[in-house]
Structure 1
Amino acid sequence: MNFVLKGAVVAAAVAIAAPVHAQDPVGYWQGTLDTGAGTLPIGVNIEGGGDGSLSGSIDSPSQQAFGIPVSNVEAAGDRLTFTVPAVGGSYEGEWQAEEKRWVGSWSQGGATFALSLTAGERPPRPAAASPRTLPADWDIPNEEEVAAVIQERLANRPGTGMVVGLVDGDDVQTIARGPSGAASFDADTLFEIGSMTKVFTGLLLADMAADGVVSLDDPVSKHLPAGATMPTRGGKQITLRNLSQQDSGLPRLPDNMVPGDASNPYADYSEQQLLDFLAGYELPRDIGSEYEYSNLGVGLLGYALARAAGSDYETLLRERILTPLGMDDTAIALSADQQARFAGGRDAFNRPTSAWDLPVLAGAGALRSTANDMLKFMRAALDPQSPISREMQLALADPREGPGFGAGLGWMILPAPSGTIVMHGGGTGGFRTHMALQPANNRAVVVLTNSAVDPGAQDIAFHLLAGGPVAEAGAVPQAAQQVQRDEIANLTEAQQDRVLGKWRLTPELAIDITRDGEQLYAAVTGQAALPIFARSPLAFFWRAANAEIVFTEQDGRITGGMFTQDGNSIPVTRAE
């Protein structure tokens, strides 16, 4: 997910000079966010109050979004942190005196990207991009205007289509545009909906809890196979509620997930691997203390609920949620007819790519659906008399605080001038989706597209529902040239030992290099350990990615190096 703004908000437009003191955060800072699918210039304006407090705003010029307020600005010693509630994002950086910049990471929607900020002058804003509030009296655009937004997004993306579903009171409509030169998409075209599946898993938990099959506060261990164990901390156990509200302390993905096919990364992850990971994992923080988006956690929730019911996830979901709503086109395993209507996905460089399979972690993102079915779902979610009304009430009843939003059971809950928004997005290797609902106005939007090129679906959904800005699509990024790297003969154990350990990319991102027998493995924070191979005693590369790490030595000791992936480089230092 890139830095997608959900609505620009008025903030002080004061020109601030470049910072003067090394650790002084006050001033205007500039950087470029590289998501792998493109780059976004970012500007951060931080102001100091008379009482020593800090405040400010953030700009995304290429998205014509300026003055979005930042919150919880803290600067202590060499560290700078802040959150951006309007986009559900946060930043953490560390001052590097020699480089005169904050080196850190931007986190949003469960993904983390490197972002360094250097001193700059706040640029003048173009007249067309003056600050604006998210309107309180927004009307959903008409069909012609929606079609124009879709067409602009697809203009430079051959092979890509988009379907938008809209609910505005009793008015329900679908606007679709298919790929040029291909069969047209319509309301019955199937898309992978990715992490929108998490909403269905949350409602399944609410439904089963309301029926007394499980309790929200059941320990997850209660629903695992005999002999299986869960990580604990401080005498406390992870509950089903913790998994759905994303505060279990489990990581985004298990570190023993080593895909045989990077284009279908979950396909060969097994139940036994899941249980092995849980048995050996040590929680880094107290359970319930902090929100951290985890595909592993919600996938585990779906697995545990299926075991509690003596069923499988898809059958259980169909019986309890999908069939009562008449959602016959929402499934994991597709029939021949559904497969014929399934949109082929396209990757972040607009190349055809494979569908994803999530056998054991299905609850995190395995569903496929259509605009017609999602309209049925959203109308039911808005209707206090629908078959899922009690589940919706329970799912939204007691949210925990997330980074700029409330986290219910599956849902993310955002304040907006025109009414609270409940939402969730989805992304797989070849699809981007987003649904957003405004219960107070009886409105909802779903956007489905068969492309992982960013920007994708989220900004359009928020524009149509609440008047947020639409990001400029720009050209499709070019895939980096694959570098041919050849492995040398096995290194000695002593040569391998020199590179073992943790290598810091940013304050939040590191590469942990370990050895199993003669094979070296490298795990980026929150990702699985993958084998790496030597092309020289100081250079190691990944076969599963277009990446390498080249170390430098001083006085015979390796102290740092450079990590490069797809042509982008980040220096690494040995973690203390």
Structure 2
Amino acid sequence: MSLVAAFLDGERHSITVHGQSGSSDNRPLDGDTIFEIGSITKVFTALVFADMVLRGELAPDDPAAKYLPAGIRMPDFEGAPITLMDLATYTSGLPRMPSNFAPKDWSNPYIDYTAERLYDYLSNHKLGHKPGKHYEYANLGFGLLGHILERRAGKSYEELVVSRICAPLGMEDTRIALSSSMQQRLARGHSAALAPVGNWDFSVLAGAGAFRSTANDLMKFLRMCMNPADGPVAAALKMTLSERRPSAEERDVALGWFVWSRFGDELIWKSGGTGGYATFIGYSTKTRRNCILLSNAADYDPNIALGMHLINAAYPLAKIRREVPVDPAVLATYAGRYEVSPTLILTVRSDGGRLFIQATAQPEFEVYAESEAEFFCRVVDAQISFARPEGGGVPSLTLHQNGNDLSGKLLL
């Protein structure tokens, strides 16, 4: 695996590399090595949205339904519509992923999710929360926002981002479609278990995570973020940070960005992850410390923890978890479907000495034992605890993620 780390100090920047690119010619890593940046794309989507608002092409409070084809019914909550600002701030009330997200190939899961499937989902979905009031991470929401922006502008989503962000900032290596030069410089993606994997391609949900970039290009972007001068991109950036909505204690979301206020500091940041890459960009508004991390291994949460720690050392590094062997017969007793909520079912499957978990509309991941009843995931920072009533009986589980402990009972 490889890691490229970049830091900005005034007008100077430094780049540190570790590992190998894994490309066909195993070219050395540098600031021009290409990585999938995943959900950092959401910041670009938010910036294009803000730019279109400032140009008068749409309004923040416009209902999302206004920009969809006639006959498509956007869900609402007791008459309250989902607005474009709700989509941009992770508060639309829509779930993280649509329930009809069922890829033919989980190694490239977004490519066959089309506009037709998106419209079908929206027309039949019922909101469980009032728009603007409930935070939930939003691959669906930002994919929908990017689709709306391209419909309004009459250009593809990639053309919008390139013309309104990349071209003004000189970011020539930030694209969805790879040129031959970019293809040659692409780091090979790897799973969290360091197995080589393919790249991801997007259809209608491109606004959620389709872009690729380099440390040098993202440094140009970070320089603008830390010292926004006059101009359309800087004005759009200021708008993306002007609206804050709560996601948790000491944690807010802006438009696309996360804003954490801890340890006497304020960090503006965003991470990204695809099947073979983990990325991070962030900076402190007080100390001006900053960091870009690009990895070609899908070890998402340790990468985020490292990025936060490099900006502010008070943020701890990720805990190192050690795998222990467990009797396959014990693992087999945990198999089944567990209801965490009406919209979240965890399906547990045992296979010899291995255990796998799949959440609703998500790919299946292997989990690893820390003890006979405690397991951890390497793809996301999540842990699972299994429990049985005294004397045996039907097991239950607890999902530990994002500071929350969510219980689930086995469905019989």
Q: Please, what TM-score do these two structures have when normalized by structure 2?
A: 0.78
Which residue of 332, 345, 348 maps to 1:511? 345
Which residue of 129, 153, 161 maps to 1:285? 129
Residue equivalent to 1:393: 238
1:107-126 map, 5 Å? none
Structure 2 distance, partners of 1:243, 1:272, is 19
- How big is the shift at 1:460? 1.8
- How big is the shift at 1:359? 1.4
Residue equivalent to 2:94: 250
Residue equivalent to 1:102: none
Whether 1:449 aligns to 2:295 is yes
Residue equivalent to 1:413: 259
Q: Which amino acid aligns with 1:346?
A: H
Which residue of 450, 454, 459 maps to 2:305? 459
- How big is the shift at 1:416? 3.9
Change (3 A) 1:170 1:249: same
Identical counterparts, % of pairs = 37
Change (3 A) 1:571 1:356: same
Identify the structure with the greater strand proportion: 1
Residue equivalent to 1:307: 151
1:351-390 map, 5 Å? 351-387=195-231, 388-390=233-235
- How big is the shift at 1:440? 3.5
Answer yes or no: is the 8 Å Cα contact 2:94–2:138 preserved in 1.
Answer: yes
Who wins on radius of gyration, i.e. which is larger?
1
Structure 1 distance, partners of 2:286, 2:6, is 18
- How big is the shift at 1:419? 3.4
Answer yes or no: is the 8 Å Cα contact 1:228–1:279 preserved in 2.
Answer: yes
- How big is the shift at 1:476? 9.2
Answer yes or no: is the 8 Å Cα contact 2:269–2:283 preserved in 1.
Answer: yes
Change (3 A) 1:466 1:280: same
- How big is the shift at 1:229? 1.8
Residue equivalent to 2:384: none
Residue equivalent to 1:494: none
CA RMSD after TM alignment: 3.1
- How big is the shift at 1:561? 7.0
- How big is the shift at 1:390? 1.1
- How big is the shift at 1:456? 3.7
Residue equivalent to 2:331: none
- How big is the shift at 1:465? 1.3
Q: Which amino acid aligns with 2:239?
A: L
Q: Determine helix, strand or coil for the equivalent of 2:248.
A: coil
Whether 1:198 aligns to 2:42 is yes
Structure 2 distance, partners of 1:321, 1:374, is 11
Whether 1:338 aligns to 2:182 is yes
Structure 2 distance, partners of 1:512, 1:420, is 35
Question: Unaligned regions of 5+ residues in structure 2, if any?
Answer: 329-335, 348-356, 365-392, 398-406
- How big is the shift at 1:438? 1.9
Q: Which amino acid aligns with 2:20?
A: P
Residue equivalent to 1:471: 317
Whether 1:573 aligns to 2:410 is yes
Which residue of 153, 165, 175 maps to 2:6? 165
Change (3 A) 1:512 1:401: closer
Answer yes or no: is the 8 Å Cα contact 2:146–2:157 preserved in 1.
Answer: yes
Q: Which amino acid aligns with 1:403?
A: A
Structure 2 distance, partners of 1:399, 1:419, is 16
Change (3 A) 1:455 1:419: closer
Q: Determine helix, strand or coil for the equivalent of 2:241.
A: helix
Instruction: After the TM superposition, list the runs of 4 or more consecutive aligned residues in structure 1 that deviate by more than 6 angstroms.
Output: 475-480
Q: Determine helix, strand or coil for the equivalent of 1:422.
A: strand
Change (3 A) 1:323 1:287: same
Which residue of 361, 369, 389 maps to 1:527? 361
Which residue of 66, 79, 99 maps to 1:222? 66
Aligned residues: 355
Residue equivalent to 2:15: 174
Change (3 A) 1:419 1:455: closer
Q: Determine helix, strand or coil for the equivalent of 1:398.
A: coil
Answer yes or no: is the 8 Å Cα contact 1:347–1:430 preserved in 2.
Answer: yes
Q: Determine helix, strand or coil for the equivalent of 2:345.
A: strand
Structure 2 distance, partners of 1:473, 1:350, is 19
